[in-house]
Chain A
């Protein structure tokens, strides 16, 4: 059985989370999708099985007044699973709200409404590409470090050979 990557959707409005879940399930079969109505439920799930991506509603307390709000849930999620990318979703199109969520570690911000579902799909693709590029950059970094160490060892070896008379300080090295 292929292990699918996980996406969690957190929204206190049932229609909102199910529409997004249905859309992503239909268009992104490589992902397994789970829905939660509160940030607290999602945090408990992440502790057991971290997701690759979490779509998190900004206003999580419209139904349950003392529920954790989106920013609190974002902070907690990033502290327990820093590798998980969190995408905030909100009905507010205010730029300061978007900036605030990015400051707190969100990968992106989506405004609810027409077009939000297609945008969510694009964000999943962007996260996939970002992770792939990060992994490639990390591999190149490791290669560069190994190359640097190799060069350093070569210089040390040449200095050692020179100091002990095995090679001369002149062209030809005979």
Chain B
């Protein structure tokens, strides 16, 4: 996949870490292990209609997506946070969560691929 088609862009994280391979690998691992857990929590809270918890979890995940340049995912999380916070347009929530799941799958795959570069 060419860089322009990727959901992630590591340039911000590179500048933040001074392009240190060990730090890049550390933060990528944090995201690839933490984000799927956050997604599971969002799905579970949504099924239980615990909208405050959905809002909190989306809110916590939102800036992390941003650090990896996943602007679309950051916007989607912002939208999920807004819907859960206002308890409005909740009929759109399942589709939004499905969309988030699809995007996170791609992001995690891209980040795991880039780990090869930083683990060397």
Q: Do A and B bind each other?
A: yes
State the interface size on chain B (CB cutoff 8 A): 20
Cβ contacts under 8 Å, A85 to chain B: none
Contact B66 A113 (CB under 8 A): yes
Binding site for B on A (CB under 8 A): 12-16, 18-19, 22-23, 26, 59, 61-63, 65, 91-92, 112-114, 116-117
Contact A62 B56 (CB under 8 A): yes
Which residues, 44 to 71 on B, are CB-close (under 8 Å) to A? 53, 56-57, 59-60, 62-64, 66-67
Contact B60 A117 (CB under 8 A): no
Q: How far is the CB of B100 from chain A (nearest CB, A)?
A: 16
Cβ contacts under 8 Å, B27 to chain A: 15, 18-19
Contact B60 A22 (CB under 8 A): no
Cβ-closest chain B residue relative to A63:
B60
Complexed CA–CA distance, A114 and B11 (Å): 11
Cβ contacts under 8 Å, A18 to chain B: 26-27, 30
Contact B34 A59 (CB under 8 A): no
Cβ contacts under 8 Å, B64 to chain A: 13, 15-16
Query: What 3 pairs between A and B have smallest CB-CB spacing?
Result: A62-B60, A112-B63, A62-B56
Contact A59 B56 (CB under 8 A): yes
Contact B16 A16 (CB under 8 A): no
Complexed CA–CA distance, A92 and B58 (Å): 12
